[in-house]
Structure 1
Amino acid sequence: MTDFTPILNRIKKNKNRLKSYIKDLGLEAYRLYDRDIPEYPYIIDVYGSKLVIFEKGKRLNDYEDQKLKEKHLKHITQALNQLFPESQTIIKERVKNKGKSQYEKELNSGNKFIVREKDLKFEVNTDDYLDCGLFLDHRPLRLQVQKMAAEKRVLNLFCYTGSLSVAAAFGSAKQVCSVDMSNTYLEWAKRNFELNRINIADHIFLREDIVSWLPQHMDRYEIILLDPPSFSNSKKMEDIFDVQKDHLKLLTQLSKNLTEKGTLYFSNNLRSFKLDSDVSNIFEIKDITKKSIPPDFKDQKIHQCFELKLK
C-alpha cells in the first residue's frame, strides 16, 4: 500500500460509479472528486483530456503544516497520473476575495477547446480563468430546458457563457435573449451558439446591468432563467448586488415578464440563501434543488434551484 492509496481508491471508485452516466450522456466534462475525503479538501473536474484540481481556500486554511498540504496534493496528482496517464493536470487555488469575481481573468493563453455534453458542444478554457466556462452543476437544468424550449421565447439573465441559452436554442426555442454585463462572456456565448450550428442572428445578446435594465424591459417570455451571482460590486453595475437582499425585487419584476403559463427557473449558489416568504405571494414555488444536482456532485449545497410559476 502506497501513501496515496486511499485517495487513489476513492477516485477510482468515483470513476467506476460514474462510468455508465458519463457514457449515456456522452460527457466530456464532469466532476470526478468532490472533497469526498476530509483530509483531501479538493475538487477535481474533468474537461476532455485535462484534469483541473481546485484548492478550496476555506478548508485549506486548516492546513497548519504547509508540508502536509503539499503531501496531500502530491498524493492526488500521483493518483491522477496513474488513472489518467495521458491527461494534463492543472492546479487552481480558489481563494475567497470579497468583492472580486471568481470568474475574472488570470492569464491570456488563448488555450480554448471543445467539450461535449450529450448533443451539445461548449468551448472551455482551463487556463485563463478560475472557472472554466461551463457550470457542470447546471447540466440537469440544461437538459430540462432543452426538452421544454420548443417554440418558446426564452430570457436568460446573468447568462455567463450562454450554456443554458444554447440548450434552449438547440431545443428549438423561438428566440433566446441572453443578457450579461460582460462582453467577454457574451462573445463566448455567441461562439457556443456557432459551435452548435445555431444562427446567432435569430437570437439576442445584450450587455446590460440587469438590475437597472429589467424595470424598463417589457417583453414577455415562456421561460425565464435567472442564475445571479451571490454578490457583485462590479463597476458595470449602478449598485452593489446581493442575491439575498435583492432576489425578491428581481423576481417581482420578472413576474411581469413571464407569460401566464410560463416557467421561471431561479438558482443561486449562496449556501446561506433563504427564499423570501413574500415570493409565495406571486409564484407557485417548487424547490427542485435535489433533482437539479447531477450525480457527479457529492456537494448537495452546490446550488439551490426553484421552479416558479405565476399564481
Structure 2
Amino acid sequence: MADLSWVAPEALATEAAALADLAQIAGLPLVALARDDSADAALRAEPSSVTEVIAGREAASIRAYPARPDAPAPAAVTLAGGERVSVLVPASDQFARRLEKVARLRAKWARREDVTCYRVYDADLPDYAVAIELYEGSETPGRWLQVSEYVAPRGVDPALARRRLMDVAAIAPRVLGVDPADVSVRVRTRARGGSQYADERREPAREPRGGRASRRDGGVELPAGAHLVDEGGLTFEVNFDARHDCGIFLDHRETRARIREMMKQTQGSKRFLNLFAYTGTATVYAADGGAKHTTTVDLSRPSLDWARRNMARNGFTGPAHEFVQADVLAWVTEQRHTRNRWDLIFCDVPTFSNSARMRRASFDVQRDHAELIIGVSRLLVRGGRAIFSCNLRTFKPDVEKLARAGVALEDITDETIPEDFSRNRKIHHAYVVTRV
C-alpha cells in the first residue's frame, strides 16, 4: 500500500542543487554516481557507459559522460525577482509561475485572517502533484516549508516524477523566502502495514542545527529540532525532523475553533474527551474554551508527552487535565462500564491502524466506524455532543446502523474545510454525533 516516507529536510533540495552545479560544468568529461537518470537531465546528455552498483542499500549507477564542447546550456527558471534557478525539467517554469501567483494570493488572505501556518499550493498543476505548507515561528523568527508528494497516477515515469519533485524542492524555498535547509519533504513509497504509529519505530532523526540538547521556553521543555507556532491565539510545538507529521493538522484549523466555541456554550460539568489525540491540539482549544476537566487519550507515549507540553505551554496544567496511554478502541469499551461521561468528545480517527499494541488485529475506519461511534455516543452526558472525523476520501457513514443504535449524525464537513484547503475538500470528513 502507499505510505508516506520522511526525507531529511534539506535532502532533495541539496541533491537538486548538486545536480544544478553539475549542469554548470556540462561539456567536460565526468563520471557521476547517481540513483537514477537525473544527472542525464541536468547535463542534457546521454552517458557513454552505465555501470549498475549498490550504494548503501539502494540501487544506483556509475554514469560516464564524454566531453562535449557544444553541450547545451542547462535548463533554468527565472523567478519574478530575477533570480535564476537551475531545473531538471524545462516545464518546471510553469510550476514556478503558478506557485508565485498562489503564494501572493494566499499570503494576502493569511494576513487578513491572521493565520501564520497555512497551505500555499495543493496540486494546482497535475504534473506537480504536491502539497506545500508554510509555517512561521511565533516566539522566535523562522519560516519552514513542508512538501508532501501525492501518489502519482499509474503510467507516470517514476524518474520524471522524482525530477519534478526535485525542481519543486529547489524552486519553492526561493519563491517563499525559506532557507532550503528548512524544507522537509515527504514522498510516497510502497510499504507494508499501515500503523499510524509506524513513525515511532524509525531511526533517530538527524541532529538539528543548533545542537542536540533540548531547551526550555516559559518553563516548558522544547525538544531539539522543535519550533513554536501560533494558531487561534494559542501556541503549539511543531517538529519537521522527527515524525511523518509535524504535530498539527492544518486542515482541522476550523474544527479546533469550533470545539472551542462548543465548549464555551457547554453547561454543567464541562468535561472534554480527546480520542486518538495525537499532540493534543484539540484539547488545548477545549481548555481555552473553558473545559474544567480534559482527558487526552492516545496509544503513543511520545504523542502524549507532546500533548502535555502543548497544554502546559498554554497554561493548562494540574490534575484536572489527564493524559491516558491506551488502545482507544479497548478504552472506550471499558469506559462504557464506568460512570465516566463527557460533555464534548473529539474523535479524529486514523484511516487504518495495525499496531502490535492494539488488542484487536487492526482498525479500518470504513469497516469499524459504526461500532466506534456507537461506543463514543455512550460516553456522552445527556445532551452531550461529539465530533467524529476521518480523512478517508471515500468514507461513507453507515447511517442506518447508527440510527438503529439511537445515534444521529450531522455532516459538518463543508463548515470545517479551511479556505487554504478549498481545492481539496475531501481532505477530511466531519460529523456532529448525538444520542437520539
**Is the TM value for this pair above 0.5?**
yes
1:65–1:307 Cα change, 3 Å: closer
Q: What displacement does 1:98 show?
A: 4.1
Q: Distance in 2 between matches of 1:252 and 1:85?
A: 48
**Gap change, CA 1:198 and 1:26, over 3 Å in 2:** farther
Distance change (3 Å), C-alpha of 1:20 and 1:258: farther
1:134 corresponds in structure 2 to: 248
Who is 2:12 aligned against? Answer: none
Letter of the 1:84 counterpart: L
Letter aligned with residue 194 of structure 2? K
Aligned positions of 1:25-44 closer than 5 A:
25-44=113-132
Is the Cα–Cα contact under 8 Å of residues 26 and 116 in structure 1 kept in the other structure? Answer: no
Q: Is structure 2 residue 353 aligned with structure 1 residue 232? A: yes
Q: For 1:276, which of 386, 398, 402 is the aligned residue? A: 398
Residue among 179, 183, 194 paired with 2:312: 194
- State the match for 1:147 in structure 2: 261
Distance 1:64 1:86 in 2: 29
Moved over 4 A (4+): none
Q: Which amino acid aligns with 2:152?
A: R
DSSP 3-state at the match of 2:105: helix
Q: Is the 8 A contact 1:194 1:200 kept in 2?
A: no
Q: Deviations for 1:64-84, whole angstroms, at most 9, x for unmatched residues?
A: 151x22432243234323322
C-alpha contact 1:179 1:210 (8 A) present in aligned 2? yes
Instruction: Find the aligned partners of 1:198 and 1:25 in 2 and give their Cα distance.
Output: 26
> 1:21-70 CA deviation, whole Å, 9 max, x = no partner?
422443332111111110001111112211111122x217643151x224
Q: Which residue of 1 aligns with 2:168?
A: 76
Q: For residues 153 and 225 of structure 2, what CA distance do their matches in structure 1 show? A: 28
Partner of 1:250: 372
Could you report, residue by residue, the CA deviation over 1:130-182 in whole angstroms, capped at 9, with x for unpaired residues? Answer: 11111111110111111221362111100000011111011111111110001
Alignment-mate amino acid for residue 403 of structure 2: S
Give the aligned length: 309
Contact 1:229 1:268 in 2 (8 A): yes
Name the structure, 1 or 2, with higher relative contact order (CA <8 Å, separation 6+): 1
Note closer, same or farther for the CA distance 1:285–1:65 as it changes in structure 2 (3 Å cut).
closer
| Displacement of 1:231 | 1.1
3-state SS of the aligned residue for 1:63?
Answer: coil
CA distance in 1 between counterparts of 2:290 and 2:190 reads 39
Tell me, in whole angstroms, the C-alpha distance in 2 between the residues paired with 1:200 and 1:304: 33
Instruction: Supply the AA of the counterpart residue of 1:225.
Output: F
- For the aligned residue pairs, the C-alpha RMSD in angstroms reads 2.0
The answer for the alignment partner of 2:215 in structure 1 is none
CA shift, 1:13, in A, is 2.6
Match among 402, 405, 416 for residue 292 of structure 1: 416
Which residue, out of 129, 144, 148, partners 1:54?
A: 148
Match of 1:214 in 2: 332
TM-score, normalised relative to structure 2: 0.67
C-alpha contact 1:137 1:293 (8 A) present in aligned 2: yes
* Residue identity (%): 34
Deviations 1:64-114 (A, max 9, x none): 151x22432243234323322343322221335342335514433431111
When the two structures are superposed, what TM-score results if normalisation uses the length of structure 1?
Answer: 0.92
Whose radius of gyration is greater, 1 or 2? 2
Structure-1 separation of matches of 2:352 and 2:170: 37
Deviates more, 1:158-167 or 1:110-119: 110-119
Aligned residue in 2 for 1:266: 388
SS at match of 2:152: helix
Equivalent pair of 2:239/2:246 in contact (CA under 8 Å): yes
Equivalent residue letter for 2:93: T
Show the counterpart of 1:118: 232
Q: Secondary structure at the match of 1:166?
A: helix
Partner SS state of residue 235, structure 1: coil
d(CA) in 2 for partners of 1:62, 1:40 = 15
